Amino acid sequence: MMKKRFISTIAIAGAAAMALTACSSDPEPGASGSAAGGGGGDGEVITVGFAQTGSESGWRSANTDSMKEAFSAENGFDLIFNAADNDTAAQITAVRSFINQGVDAIVIAPIVEDGWDDVLTEAKNAGIPVILEDRTVSSPEDLYAAWVGLDFEKEGTMAGEWAAAEFGDTETKMVVLEGTTGSAPANDRATGFDAAIEGTMIEKIDSQTGDFTRDGGKSVMEGFLQNYGVDGIDLVYAHNDDMALGAIEAIEAAGAVPGEDIKIISIDAVHDGMQALVDGKINYIVECNPLLGELAAGLVKDVLAGNDVERTVYVEDQAFDQAAAEAALPDRKY
């Protein structure tokens, strides 16, 4: 009860805070807009609950948009959307409420790997299939129907192979801007890259976490530049575009030219990153495709129709150099 009152207090305060800042707000229902289910329908409409992690990055927004588009009313879906703001407990609560509402299928982008057994068992007992999107869970495989997502290690490998081909024959000093310590993309992108450059003349002289943020990337790069000097670094490998964009700021502030004096390789291919690639400030980007919506929607339909589905579905990633980026940028959805 205390908790309830506390939460309602926060809600009131939140409403007040929003009213205060409304002068310049752009109330796009992107962050936490919900499309509440309007009853059972005719049996033709598939009601799907989607528990998103939150809206922590540009990648995540693009992912949310893609899911909303794929699970639209035109495609025969009624989507109940929930963004948990990276709060694991809130996400589990959301999934439980999907079960109580009796949805036809549940799609989850799990915030963390652990702690899903109970709620997934409840869904199974209620006969509701669960599709995992983007991240995985540690629960037994029979508790969910399928997983659709990305191969982070392959992204690292693709980035590393390009680096090996371009710089492998000359002595190259590389620094790495790691993602959040311990996260799957950070670990796997490092593993894939390191394996691909093994035996080449690329030497990893330092590696630090920039927490996947622009400010983190800038701060760490400033430190690297002071430690090794502009001439002591030839190549930057950033685990995502945002950190690469931060590193660009740091390199420019140090009086060097990013993309020329210091080459940059990055992963993600969000819009700002692609723009920097076109502008010549980044040299190579491996895509981390957020457009999982259609695949997920297809999986949901197949599972409900009783078809056999692949348990693990990888989305194909592309890679861009500067010329390819210029060609691709105008048509990009994100």
Partner 1 sequence: MNALYKHRLFWPIASLLALIAINAIARPQFIKVTVRDGELYGALVTILKDSAPLMLVALGMTIVIATRGIDLSVGAIMAVSGAVALTIIDGSGSPDNLATVLIAVVVALLVALILGAWNGLLVTVLGIQPIVATLVLMLAGRGAALLITGGEITTVNSAPFKWMSGGYLVALPVAFLIGLLAITIMGLIERRTALGVLTEAVGINPEASRLAGVRARGIIWGAYMVSGILAGVAGLIYASRISAADANAAGVFIELYAILAVVLGGTSLNGGKFSIAGTVVGVFIIQTLDSTILFLGIPSAQSPVFFGFVVAIVVVVQSPRVRTALGSLGGRRRSRGTSGPSTDTVEVAR
Q: Which residues of this protein are in contact with partner 1, per CB under 8 A?
A: 9-10, 13-14, 16-18, 20-21, 23-28, 30-32, 55-58, 60-61, 64, 85, 178, 181-182, 206-209, 211, 213-216, 218-220, 222-224, 226-227, 229, 242, 245-246, 249, 253-255, 272
Nearer to partner 1, 20 or 305 (CB): 20
In what side-by-side order are the strands of the sheet with 146-149?
77-83, 46-52, 105-108, 130-133, 146-149, 312-314
| DSSP strands (E only) in 180-299 | 202-209, 235-238, 263-268, 284-287
Nearer to partner 1, 170 or 227 (CB): 227
Nearer to partner 1, 223 or 298 (CB): 223
* 65/101 Cα distance (integer angstroms): 23
Side chain identity at 77, as an amino acid letter?
Answer: F
Least separation in angstroms between CB 246 and partner 1: 6
Give the Å distances, CA to CA, from 117 to 52, 129, 139, 157, 169.
Answer: 18, 14, 6, 32, 50
Helix H, strand E, coil C: the string for 119-158 is: HHHHHHHCCCCEEEECCCCCCCHHHCCEEEECCHHHHHHH
Least separation in angstroms between CB 273 and partner 1: 11
Least separation in angstroms between CB 334 and partner 1: 10
Nearer to partner 1, 54 or 192 (CB): 54
Least separation in angstroms between CB 97 and partner 1: 20
Which pair of structure tokens corresponds to residue 306? 């009783």
Nearer to partner 1, 28 or 142 (CB): 28
Beta carbons of 139 and 116 less than 8 angstroms apart? yes
Least separation in angstroms between CB 52 and partner 1: 11
